[in-house]
Amino acid sequence: MTTIADRPPAVHHGATRVDGPDKVAGRARYAAEHPMAELAYACPVTSTVARGEIVKIATDRATATPGVLAVLHWGDVPHASGHEDPELALFRSPMVSYRGQIVAAVVATTLEVAQEVAAQIEVEYRVEPHDVELRSEHPGLYTPAHVNPDFDTDSFVGDVEEGLARSAITVDVTYTTPAQHNHPMEPHACTAWWDGDHLTVVDSTQGPWRGRAGIAGALGLDPGQVRVIAQHVGGGFGSKGTTRAHSVVAALAARAVDRPVRCVLARRQMPAVVGHRTPSIQRVRLGADPDGRLLAISHDVVEQTSRIKEFAEQTAVATRHMYAAPNRRTTHRLVRLDVPTPAWMRAPGECPGMFALESAIDELATELGIDPVELRIRNEPTVDPESGLPFSSRNLVACLRDGAARFGWDGRDPTPRHERRGRWWVGTGVAASVYPARAAPSRARITIDDHRRYTVEIDAADIGTGARTALLIAAAEALAAPTTDIEVRIGDTNFGEAMIAGGSMGTASWTWAIVEAADALRARIAAHDGRVPPEGLSAEAHTGASIEQLPDAARFTFGAQFAEARVDVDTGEVRVPRLLGVFAAGRIVSPVTARSQLVGGMTMGLSMALCEESRLDPEFGDFTRRDLASYHVAVNPDVGEVEAYWLDEDEPELGPLGAKGVGEVGIVGTAAAIANAVHHATGIRVRDLPITVDRFLDAP
């Protein structure tokens, strides 16, 4: 493998967002803005019951309405045979598995007609009793075969019960996190059209290549018959990482009416059909000797999935890698409920799991009378506690120490409820962050013309993270060319296989492919004595073989988060004027966009801590907060000073640039740091998120 030292010095370090001017000027086209002639619109009709069977759908009145082109529903759509995701098997069964499930779609010449008629469609159901309540003792609990994406469901090392019995100090506590919903600024949208038996889709997706496979499977097509384009995507947070039902609706509708069709989900429809973070019930037990060395760690998780598809979030997996202890156990149990299927949401598993673990570590520090930063350092492992493999790099201790110095942690009085400023109790808290560092096979192609201008093509997706900017920087460095001579084209399955913008793997995966393609192109240019023929030259690379050759190691991004919380002495209102994070994430390719991702993740963690939750109405089985007026997220006045720093870290094995992901590690640990700060401020331990004022009413 060619290393960074083998290439010329970097030629460009300070690139700002290269797509900024197009977005500000409105030239950037999103999925719902793709210009098409004779465009029709599809509006989904969703179930009003949580469980049952469709008996009848009245469509005569709808199809007679001027402007209506078709009504798609059970019994009226050709059934393609495929290996489709059950969530995408639209109109193939009369069964209803959750409230909000798509049961029909109206296709019309205008969006207004489609929406109005869809609201008038009458569906008759045979209703069955439903169950939407997650309980730790639910009789339907079972052990899934694995947890997302393919981790072992449970892990056992040593004897946890014996370790707890030998411990001088133990903590045995239960934490809960609520369901949360991905609400990207751009709703899920798709424009689709057919050319014979070939389908083109302009989709709001985090991964066109993966989306192509999902759509093809749902429609019984060969993936080569489907082209997916996604050049600009307005956020995703995981909800656009897999194919969603709106894309299948658009494709089916376009085939039914033989013209391009656009389907845009309304905000109120998204909670049911684009996934959510599962609620969790987490019991954490820790045992330590008088000096704070952990003797036992146990983390048991209960969470939910739907009846039609299993999704088991890897909530306790991060606990397996964090701290040294001779006795450790993690378990996951699921229950199938009459709810939509949970799915990825920024840092799935690590985010809720580390809230519980890092809160419990803080509780242990309080019981021991040891500074919580010092307690974490004392339990730093020398190798990965789970696998026994060496860490490729692990700078958590450095992050903790650097963050403590920047935050002003030294001299902190550990006594809870000791500082009051006017009407506010003031406290500080700390938590660790972790997220896997990985890369996935991807393909890139680079062309040079006889004017020595380069075109880079890769099926990456920029979901607002600044991917174009990072890829441009990587290409400029690898080619030893100015950025002004390089055009980066992304978001098209015609460019070949590439990793999705998810799992904090995008930058590492894509830049790896670009660097290998650049090396191949430079070799071709050298073979032509440094000249470029009139027809130009091109080269491509696929990183599958390189990734397979990675040596065994435990690869993670680590960080330390510090928070200051203020709690109103009368109302219990919580404010967070300061958040500070220090991270060790390999080489930072694009400092401007990396900082944006870390600050954004920490801000989302603030939302998780203080206000973000989705509630299910047990009577109707429906999420009650289905818009941004009722589903509360942190907005500008809620956010104080948020600082993100990183350490220089060499990660030579993870691709030629040594890049680790930063898209998700920023949210991990934030909620725990805030909850720990709230305890320090008030002496009240809040173990159930979010930390709303009612959490203090029954506290001693």
Distance CA 310, CA 307 (A): 7
124 tagged catalytic: no
Q: Is the link from the previous residue into 690 a cis peptide, with omega within 30 of 0? A: yes
Q: Which two tokens stand for residue 36?
A: 């098409």
Neighbour tally for 448: CB within 10 Å:
23
Distance CA 258, CA 40 (A): 10
- For residue 463, what are the CA distances in angstroms to 194, 207, 246, 619? 26, 10, 18, 37
Question: Of 607, 567, 561, 565, which Cα lies nearest the Cα of 583?
Answer: 561
Instruction: Give residues with Cβ within 8 angstroms of 341, minimum separation 6.
Output: 87, 275, 305, 306, 308, 309, 311
Distance CA 81, CA 363 (A): 54
3-class DSSP state for residue 50?
coil
3-class DSSP state for residue 516?
helix
Rounded to 10 degrees, the C-alpha dihedral 303/305/310/316 comes to -20
Question: Of 452, 472, 476, which Cα lies nearest the Cα of 7?
Answer: 476
Question: Of 319, 361, 395, which Cα lies nearest the Cα of 556?
Answer: 395
Instruction: Give residues with Cβ within 8 angstroms of 77, minimum separation 6.
Output: 90, 91, 92, 252, 256
* Structure letter (DSSP) for residue 273: H
Residue of 350, 564, 649, 664 with catalytic role: 664
What region does 655 belong to: left with phi over 0, alpha with psi -120 to 50, or beta?
Answer: left
Catalytic residues: 664
